[in-house]
């Protein structure tokens, strides 16, 4: 009788398990990286969307203020501007004072500076501006905000920049025999224009995105 002796198999070294674990870790890292990249791209896209919405809303408010001034000029209206916002509460003019040497210095209202430069949203109660109105001259309500997907009602502010005169024109009286109109702002045959700086602020879908737009608008509406 022949007896065969079979050699025992080599003991397992765990190499396959080690390689599998390495690949599992690599796949997990790739998945986490892809997920982080996707979340970052979503946030970037959302931020871009919010910024664009805020910019469009601010542009709309600025154009709305220009239309309001244009219609006021068509009705031969006037607007009162002053250091504290004038009669309307949103049209500002710098305060004049003696600088101590006999010259005039101009002091801007801190509300105006904050409205133009503050990077975060300012509530209407303390902004010094006014809510943008739609075509029916009514402030945007909650329903309108829901349609526009804006977090806040856009605001705008006016600043009187004075009279627009031709080069070399005097600021009052007459010059060279050329007459002025009742507003003292034009030569015979020309139109009186008054300059206003319009600053508009708006948010996007949340208060984290604030856009500020400025324009200088010439109109026949004097500030009195």
pLDDT value of residue 2: 62
Q: What is the pLDDT of residues 6-15, one digit of tens each?
A: 565 666 566 7
Residue 44 lies inside a defined structural domain of this protein: no
Let me know: does 109 contact 127? Beta carbons within 8 Å.
no
In a domain, 128, yes or no: yes
Residue 1 domain-assigned (yes or no):
no
**Domain of 189, in residue numbers:** 57-168+179-219
pLDDT of residue 72: 85
As a whole number of angstroms, the distance between CA 148 and CA 60 comes to 12
Q: Does a structural domain hold residue 198? A: yes
Looking at the 3D structure of the chain, how many domains does it have?
1
- Model-level pTM? 0.68
Q: Is residue 40 situated within a structural domain?
A: no
Mean pLDDT to the nearest integer, 129-148: 60
Structure-model confidence comparison of residues 159 and 146, the more confident one: 159
8 Å CB contact between 112 and 92: yes
Asked whether residue 144 is assigned to any structural domain, the reply reads yes
């Amino acid at each position: 009788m022949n007896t065969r002796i079979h050699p025992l198999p080599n003991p397992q070294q765990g190499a396959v398990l080690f390689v599998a674990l390495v690949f599992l870790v690599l796949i997990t890292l790739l998945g986490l990286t892809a997920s982080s990249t996707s979340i970052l791209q979503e946030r970037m896209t959302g931020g871009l969307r919010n910024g664009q919405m805020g910019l469009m809303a601010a542009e709309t408010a600025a154009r709305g203020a220009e239309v309001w001034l244009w219609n006021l000029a068509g009705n031969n209206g006037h607007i009162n501007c002053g250091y504290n916002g004038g009669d309307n509460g949103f049209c500002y003019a710098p305060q004049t004072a003696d600088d101590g040497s006999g010259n005039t210095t101009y002091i801007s209202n801190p509300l105006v500076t904050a409205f133009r430069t503050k990077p975060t949203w300012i509530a209407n109660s303390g902004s010094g501006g006014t809510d943008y109105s739609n075509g029916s001259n009514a402030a945007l309500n909650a329903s309108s905000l829901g349609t526009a997907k804006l977090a806040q009602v856009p605001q705008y502010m006016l600043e009187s920049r004075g009279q627009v005169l031709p080069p070399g024109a005097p600021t009052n009286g007459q010059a060279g025999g050329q007459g002025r109109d009742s507003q003292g702002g034009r030569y015979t045959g020309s139109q009186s224009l008054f300059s206003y700086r319009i600053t508009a602020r708006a948010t996007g879908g949340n208060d984290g995105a604030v856009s500020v737009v400025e324009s200088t608008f010439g109109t026949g509406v004097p500030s009195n």
